[in-house]
Structure 1
Amino acid sequence: MVKETWWQEHTRTPWRGFKLGLLAFPSFFVAVWFGSVLSMVTGIIGILLFPSAALLVRNMTNVYRTLIGRWTGVPIERPYLPEPPGEQGFMGLLRRFVALISDPATWRDYLWLMIDPIVVTFTAALPGWLILYGVWGYCLATFAGGMIGHYGGSDWYGWVHVDPGYDRDTERIVSTLVVATLCIAVGFLTGPKMLAVYGRWGRSLLGPTEKSRLALRVQHLTETRSEAVDASAAELRRIERDLHDGAQARLVAMGMSLGAIEHLLDKDPERARLLLAETRASSAKALRELRDLVRGIHPPVLADRGVGDAVKALALDHPLNVEVTVAVPGRPEPPVESAAYFAVSEILTNAAKHSGAGRVWVDVRHEGGMLRIAVTDDGNGGATLDGGTGLRGIERRIGTFDGILALSSPVGGPTTVTLELPCALSSPKTSLS
């Protein structure tokens, strides 16, 4: 959330709380509908309607989570337990019904929708109501009080009686203005605090319980472990293919050439000399391919100098103009370094192939326990995580380390890919050579 000035904070928050108060009205009707469906769960109709009713409740509470996080700075995670895999037919519907009705978050959401209209009225929405009540007081003092008295009405504003003689009583008009001014001042001054109280209330009920947090963590670890195993298997297949099609084929050819040379040494020395030259060239190519293969598995510069210098080495060999800034005072764990290095390598490759960019900026730094890498190019933009650019694979790779990937790529550019991987730093390690 962007930091606001004191004036912005105290003028905006009462109306934000007031909007949250207005949101309680449709939320209450959603709760009534959910309660009606809940009363029918003993029959087939209730079982059929319950998933859609629960989804409606979740959509409504997700709106609250978004607004509370945006306006109060209190982020609220979604607390729902993972649902069973999609399955057609009545048994699939029944399993989903059981999963939803046994999820504690379903009942906490329902409780929120039932109680929140009362809580929000006396917390987040109260400053807005006070300001509106103060504005009404000014209206009474200027014209509305006289109109009420003219038509024989009777009303109370605080302790001030508004009756047919109100507009001729200066003392009561002044009292009305004092009460109205106090209400407006209190509304604006207490707005941020009331909204903060409401944010903590929202996190206490709409946030995940320890059970759901643990279940979500287990699900995430299961998914990332499976993806890591798949990525490792794919990498092994790539290495095997490169060895079979590259260095191994050349070594086999070299062996055959050496056998032919052995037979030609006495019969045709000149032909044997030519074959020796060809064999020497093949050995040089096989050695180069083996070095490239090893460098692809784990570049020596990454092991010796760390991820910062390894990214700089990538920039030197890149066809685009790449500018690298590094502010990493230590060394992350080797697996994190490797994941970050290959992620940057893939992003730079994508930039060269798809972006139409001329320049790329890479910023590598460690802040708040996070290795943060931002790669920005001045290309055409329009990149997506599902656009076949390999970004989804990068996201899966860094997800193994609880890392996240954020993409900003409006049409016309620029494109910025941000990676964040949680890690601690050790002391820097440099090469002895």
Structure 2
Amino acid sequence: MSSTAVRSRAGTLRALTAVGRCHLAGLLGLAVVACVGPAVVGALLLLPVGLGHRLLPPAAAVLRRCADRARERAARWSGVPVSPPAPLPRTAGARAVLADAGFWRDLGWAWLEPLAGGLLVAVPPSLLVYGAFGAFVQPFVWRLLDDGNWYAFVPVHSTAGMLAALLLGLVFTAAGLLLAPAVLRLHARWSRLLLAAPRTTELVRRIEQLTDTRAVALDGRADELRRIERDLHDGAQARLVALGMRLDGATRLLHDPPAARAALLEARELSARALEDLRDLVRGIQPPILTDRGLGDAVRSLALDSFLDVRVEVRLAGRMPAAVESAAYFAVNELLANAAKHSGGDRVDIVLAHEEGRLRATVTDDGHGGADPARGTGLLGVRARLATFDGSLALHSPQGGPTTVTLEIPCASSLPKTSSS
């Protein structure tokens, strides 16, 4: 089968899936307005007589679960994220529910969804069903009727009218398939308009997130400083002390040139080791190739050092901020190490790109899959490193593989400083 035919079948399948999702969204909207909405309104009306104080909290909790499912569907089906409001307290009374802004948003969505969103998502399934009737049923039934019939605005009293109805049915069917994905995205935006958390809630969450990431960054900086101090103390500093002692001993052996020469040769060896320790320390802080040639060439150097078959594709037009490049470099380094130790594969593909104001690094290995951040600290450390820059880590690792990790960091790109070819 040719690639064009495969793409056509995949496009048709996506369109049919979108039509089915439109139909399901309409049914779920009707279920909410028929069951949950009246229960909540009934509880509100019973507040003056006291019974509503007991009925409102559980009814509001059910409504919140339905709204949360709608938020999840919008993100999963159309890629439109809908930020949820603050959760209702488990022991919330009627007064707490009435004071919650998210509750009133959920209630407004429950009543408006069938009227606007429901009518919107009903268009593609209606076009598809009506078009299928005109294309596949109408040609066989019009002769059974004495006076014929009408299909849309076409009178079907003859073969010519039947052919016109058939053609119109095909047009309706195609229109339903083509409109379904766009209608589904439009419905998701409508849901976000009704269900997204208030601006004040988003600002409070943003402040809390920045506070947490700042604390993580400060802790990470302190740990890094302690590591550097430990490496200096145990490595280069110890060798330099030994070097000084060896030079001091050599000065006492000047009367014995062969012994003095041997002591100086040993001192030279110690100085070379101390220099190598310092170079290793500098590489751990900021690799020179990353500073001089940028992220693309630095990741290529990691690929050359790995015993796996690593292929790197770089689609970066310029340099990123130094801190962002450093975070991405060490994150990719950790992912390569994880692939080498745990994946069981022998090939890794790395793609670096800057799109829509975000640096994106995708690392895919051909291993056995099943990666889980909860079973180790490597991915958790990468996620914490990226959170400092408001970045994210997405992991897809089904059993049997492959494992794909996508890193994203918001940043701006500057003009290229050096060539990465």
Fold match (TM-score > 0.5)? yes
Check whether the contact 1:326–1:363 (CA below 8 A) recurs between aligned residues. yes
**In 1, Cα distance between equivalents of 2:211 and 2:289:** 32
Task: Name the counterpart of 1:155.
Answer: none
Task: Name the counterpart of 1:241.
Answer: 230
Question: Residues 386, 264 of structure 1: CA spacing in aligned structure 2 closer, same or farther, 3 A cutoff?
Answer: same
CA RMSD of aligned residues (A): 4.2
Task: Name the counterpart of 1:292.
Answer: 280
Matched residue of 1:331: which SS? coil
Task: Name the counterpart of 1:115.
Answer: 112
Which of 83, 99, 110 lines up with 1:78 in the alignment? 83
- The farther-off stretch of 388-397 and 207-216 is 207-216
Which of 387, 411, 426 lines up with 2:375 in the alignment? 387
What 5-or-longer segments of structure 1 have no aligned partner?
A: 85-91, 144-166
- The farther-off stretch of 247-256 and 288-297 is 247-256
Equivalent position amino acid for 1:338 in 2: S
Task: Name the counterpart of 2:210.
Answer: 221
Task: Name the counterpart of 2:308.
Answer: 320
Spell out the pairing of 1:184-223 with structure 2 (5 A cutoff). Answer: 189=175, 192=180, 195=184, 198-223=187-212
How big is the shift at 1:292?
Answer: 0.6
Task: Name the counterpart of 1:257.
Answer: 246
Question: Residues 3, 99 of structure 1: CA spacing in aligned structure 2 closer, same or farther, 3 A cutoff?
Answer: farther
Which of 123, 128, 149 lines up with 1:174 in the alignment? 149
Question: Residues 16, 252 of structure 1: CA spacing in aligned structure 2 closer, same or farther, 3 A cutoff?
Answer: same
How big is the shift at 1:422?
Answer: 2.3
Q: Report how many residues are paired.
A: 395
How big is the shift at 1:352?
Answer: 1.9
Task: Name the counterpart of 2:28.
Answer: 23
What 5-or-longer segments of structure 2 have no aligned partner?
A: 1-6, 157-164
How big is the shift at 1:290?
Answer: 0.7
Spell out the pairing of 1:89-168 with structure 2 (5 A cutoff). Answer: 102-125=99-122, 128=125
Equivalent position amino acid for 2:235 in 1: G
Check whether the contact 1:79–1:209 (CA below 8 A) recurs between aligned residues. no
Which of 49, 60, 65 lines up with 2:66 in the alignment? 60
How big is the shift at 1:270?
Answer: 5.2
Q: TM-score, normalised to structure 2's length?
A: 0.77
Question: Residues 41, 418 of structure 1: CA spacing in aligned structure 2 closer, same or farther, 3 A cutoff?
Answer: farther
How big is the shift at 1:59?
Answer: 2.8
Matched residue of 2:372: which SS? coil
Question: Residues 10, 405 of structure 1: CA spacing in aligned structure 2 closer, same or farther, 3 A cutoff?
Answer: closer
Spell out the pairing of 1:329-408 with structure 2 (5 A cutoff). Answer: 329-388=317-376, 390-408=378-396
How big is the shift at 1:304?
Answer: 0.7
**In 2, Cα distance between equivalents of 1:5 and 1:411:** 24
Question: Residues 12, 339 of structure 1: CA spacing in aligned structure 2 closer, same or farther, 3 A cutoff?
Answer: closer
Question: Residues 42, 230 of structure 1: CA spacing in aligned structure 2 closer, same or farther, 3 A cutoff?
Answer: farther
Question: Residues 41, 8 of structure 1: CA spacing in aligned structure 2 closer, same or farther, 3 A cutoff?
Answer: farther
Spell out the pairing of 1:406-425 with structure 2 (5 A cutoff). Answer: 406-425=394-413
Check whether the contact 1:74–1:203 (CA below 8 A) recurs between aligned residues. no
Check whether the contact 2:397–2:404 (CA below 8 A) recurs between aligned residues. yes
